[in-house]
Structure 1
């Protein structure tokens, strides 16, 4: 996201220089609309959402188990020896640490969900980027921006919206 924002800032700074870039051809597309029109992408998103929900449910169940362990410990605490209390506390802390690690492994920046997303979505995104690049080269565009991210685009004329052209290129 930072790269995209930085790119847009640099692009607009260059555009403000005036006449040196006045001959540049610029267009935009709505990447969300493009992705939304691709059945494989929608199927991949559904798979990812189901997987994430399943994993989150498992993690929530483990947190509920930990809460039950803690409540049981609280109720029995006065009856336990010091060693038994320490043992139970360590058990609860270890279980909580284990669940946090599982959560990180599945949902972290380099976790299993990220890997699965790369596996399912990256080929689709690559095909779109190839279609956009081919379109830009054949039509002589210097820049094609993603309007759906809109990080720095405050206004864009529909004249320059080439989303439908990209969708047609992807269908061929």
Structure 2
């Protein structure tokens, strides 16, 4: 009986120590905040704003040109033949179609450029998080920015360490 108690005590102690040594370290980071504060993201945002302004100016310029042509044609419509007025109406429809196509193309181009620009930034951030987690022995890193749904933050916040790793 005494041996059984000793064996049971040893088993409980061994399992307890094994459980503590297998405890897994968890960290968290606000990934959205990290990416938004990276210098590369700020540069991308600035470039996208410039491109957007260029497209906006082109679209507005084309719209004003169409509007001026339309006003001119309306003023001249009574002195023109029906055939000329119909040709002019078709011309304005074609120009309006070109304007709409420019809007769609501009939107798609901006989306593609933003996605292409964000991809390496996100990869760089993820690599830095992986490096910091490995250095600190953290096995799991939770994203604290996803819906701000992290209710208990008992793990280590690695935000500042990752910022330092990225150099900003």
- The TM-score with structure 2 as length reference comes to 0.70
Quick check: 1:46 aligned with 2:46? yes
Quick check: 1:116 aligned with 2:113? yes
Query: What secondary structure does 2:52 align onto?
Result: helix
Q: How far did residue 42 of structure 1 move?
A: 1.4
Equivalent residue number for residue 133 of structure 1: 130
In structure 1, what is the Cα distance between the partners aligned to 2:154 and 2:103?
44
In structure 2, what is the Cα distance between the partners aligned to 1:80 and 1:24?
84
Counterparts of residues 42-81 of structure 1 (less than 5 Å): 42-81=42-81
Counterparts of residues 85-164 of structure 1 (less than 5 Å): 85-108=85-108, 112-137=109-134, 139-147=137-145, 150-151=146-147, 153=149, 155=151, 157=153, 160-164=156-160
CA gap of 1:70–1:24, structure 2 versus 1, over 3 A, is farther
CA gap of 1:140–1:28, structure 2 versus 1, over 3 A, is closer
In structure 1, what is the Cα distance between the partners aligned to 2:30 and 2:74?
55
Cα deviation 1:87-132 (Å, max 9, x = unaligned): 1111111111111112211212xxx223332443321221001222
CA gap of 1:154–1:137, structure 2 versus 1, over 3 A, is closer
Equivalent residue number for residue 170 of structure 1: 166
Q: How far did residue 51 of structure 1 move?
A: 1.0
Q: Any gaps of 5 or more consecutive residues in structure 2?
A: 1-22
Larger radius of gyration: 2
- The TM-score with structure 1 as length reference comes to 0.68
Query: What secondary structure does 1:153 align onto?
Result: coil
Q: Any gaps of 5 or more consecutive residues in structure 1?
A: 1-22
Aligned length: 145
In structure 2, what is the Cα distance between the partners aligned to 1:90 and 1:24?
70
C-alpha root-mean-square deviation of aligned residues, in Å?
Answer: 2.8
In structure 1, what is the Cα distance between the partners aligned to 2:154 and 2:56?
41
Contact 2:27 2:138 in 1 (8 A): no
Contact 1:34 1:167 in 2 (8 A): yes
Contact 2:25 2:139 in 1 (8 A): yes
